[in-house]
Amino acid sequence: MDDRPLGTSGLSVSRLALGTMTYGAQNTRAEAFAQLDYARDQGINFIDTAEMYPSPPREEWQGTTESIIGSWLTKRKTRAKIILAGKVAGPGIMPYIRDGKVRLDRRNIDAAIEASLKRLRTDYIDLYQVHWPDRDTNFFGRLGYTGEATTDGSVPIEETLGALARHVEKGTIRHIGVSNETPWGLGQYLKASERKDLPRIQSIQNPYHLLNRSFEVGLAEISVREQIGLLAYSPLAMGYLTGKYLGGAKPAGARHSLYDFYARYNTPRRDPAVAAYVDFARDHGLDPAQMALAFVLSRPFVTAAIIGATNLQQLQSNIAARDIILNDDIMTGLQEIYLLHQDPCP
């Protein structure tokens, strides 16, 4: 597995990261261990999780994912060889976390890190990310920013970064990243870092896949010029790019067969775009999912693609995408499809 630098941190991470948000919901502890073992044996050293996982969020299983990973790290005695990424939740989604008073301030960040360290059974988290902004802005597929909430009482980015910096100084986290962030927000983190001599953001975890290439507008340039690599989440668009949901199919045990939480992918333009990519892949002798992953991995601003799976066979197939190089003809064909079906799933 090829490695890539994580920003300017000095860390090297595998270009495929293992996403874990199904552990404790769709995946049992034993299934999660099997996936973690296989990923490690295939050279994946980068594991991504969050305090809110598993997802979709529910009070009764919140934190289970971290507990499973902590148990695996302890039993396999492999902590020193793993780059572990975690996330602190932002406000507005889960009333059961910290009594519903979740903000990205010092009190919440201190409590979140302390709880995650206990569940993960570790002294430190290598990359700690702000899961989504504290302020009212566009993320999770929201469009149409109006600017009406510029004084929404949100915690200032400088305050959030300062709270995280305390934990870098203590050693409980090593590096800081953001997620679901905008160009303006990322710029504010960079300004705060320079102005206050605070730790620098090393990564941004945003959606990026063939059905949503909006990262290329604004954020891609910042990512390359400032060495803040993209950790691309949902590189298969929550499984839609496999083609398994086409024609209204609901495969047994599949994520969208079980949950209707992910409305951001339910758009009228989704299926025509998916069908075009799936047909194109099959016409060229490629697995649709592997083609979609290979496209993401080919982008110069991508540090790692975060892959998740609900069974080991899916994980094996996804990891095999690392060996696929898309030639110029295929890249041209993908661009032609994109121009006909631009970003149907924001």
Any idea which residues carry the catalytic annotation?
Answer: 53
* Nearest C-alpha neighbor of 314 from the set 219, 252, 242, 247: 242
Number of Cβ within a 10 Å radius of residue 67: 17
CB of 316 closer than 8 Å to CB of 290: no
The DSSP H or E segment spanning 276 is helix 270-283
Pair of tokens at residue 243: 């083609």
Alpha-carbon dihedral sign for residues 262, 267, 271, 273: negative
Question: Within a 10 A sphere around the Cβ of 8, how many other Cβ atoms?
Answer: 13
Q: How far is CA 150 from CA 73, 109, 131, 134, 180, in A?
A: 43, 23, 20, 12, 18
- Beta-carbon contacts of residue 112 (< 8 Å; ≥ 6 apart): 51, 88, 89, 98
Determine the length of the chain.
Answer: 346
Q: Do residues 103 and 130 touch, judged by C-beta distance below 8 A?
A: no
